[in-house]
Structure 1
Amino acid sequence: MATADKNKNEQNLSVESRLKSLYELQTLLSQIDRIRTVRGELPLEVADLEDVIKGLTTRIENFRKEIEEIRKKSVAEKEKINDSQAKIAKYKEQIDNVRNNREFDLLSKEIEFQTLEIELSEKHINEYARMIDAKNNEIAETENRLADQKHVLADKKAELDEIVSETKQDEERLREQAKALEPKIDARTLAAFKRIRKNARNGLGIVYIQRDACGGCFNRIPPQKQMEIKMHKKIIVCEYCGRIMIDPDLAGVDLSAPTESK
Structure 2
Amino acid sequence: MATQKKAADVDYSMQEKIMALYEIQKIDSKIDEINKVKGELPLEVQDLEDELAGLKTRIDNVNAEIEEFNALTKQRRREIDQAKIQIANYKEQQNNVRNNREFDAITKEIEYQELEIELAEKRLKEYAAGVKVKKAQLEETEAVLNERSVDLTAKKSELESIEAETAPQVAEYEAQAEQARAKVDERLLAAYNRIRRSVRNGLAVVTVKRDACGGCFNRIPPQRQVDIRSGKKIIICEYCGRILVADPEAEQ
Q: Classify the TM-score, shorter chain.
A: 0.7 to 0.9
The answer for the alignment partner of 1:69 in structure 2 is 68
CA distance in 2 between counterparts of 1:229 and 1:93 reads 108
TM-score where L is the length of structure 1? 0.84
Q: Tell me the secondary structure at the aligned position of residue 221 of structure 1.
A: coil
Moved more, 99-108 or 142-151: 99-108
CA distance in 1 between counterparts of 2:110 and 2:5 reads 100
The answer for the alignment partner of 1:9 in structure 2 is 10
The answer for the alignment partner of 1:240 in structure 2 is 239
Q: In structure 2, list runs of 5 or more residues that go unmatched.
A: none
The answer for the alignment partner of 1:260 in structure 2 is none
Asked whether the equivalents of residues 48 and 148 of structure 2 are also in contact (C-alpha less than 8 Å), the reply is yes
For these two proteins, the number of residue pairs brought into alignment is 249
CA distance in 2 between counterparts of 1:225 and 1:35 reads 34
- The amino acid across from 2:130 in the alignment is M
The answer for the alignment partner of 2:50 in structure 1 is 51
Moved more, 152-161 or 181-190: 181-190
CA distance in 2 between counterparts of 1:193 and 1:177 reads 17
Q: Tell me the secondary structure at the aligned position of residue 208 of structure 1.
A: strand
- The amino acid across from 1:91 in the alignment is Y
CA distance in 2 between counterparts of 1:112 and 1:162 reads 74
- The amino acid across from 2:57 in the alignment is T
The answer for the alignment partner of 1:83 in structure 2 is 82
| RMSD, aligned α-carbons | 2.5
Give the deviation of 1:152 after TM superposition: 1.9
Deviation string 1:78-101 (CA, Å, 9 cap, x unpaired) is 112111212222232333344432
The answer for the alignment partner of 1:42 in structure 2 is 41
- Within a 5 Å distance, the mapping from 1:102-121 to structure 2 comes to 102-121=101-120
Give the deviation of 1:44 after TM superposition: 2.2
Q: In structure 1, list runs of 5 or more residues that go unmatched.
A: 257-262
Asked whether the equivalents of residues 6 and 182 of structure 2 are also in contact (C-alpha less than 8 Å), the reply is no
Shift in alpha-carbon separation, 1:63–1:101, aligned structure 2, 3 A? same
Shift in alpha-carbon separation, 1:128–1:174, aligned structure 2, 3 A? same
TM-score where L is the length of structure 2? 0.87
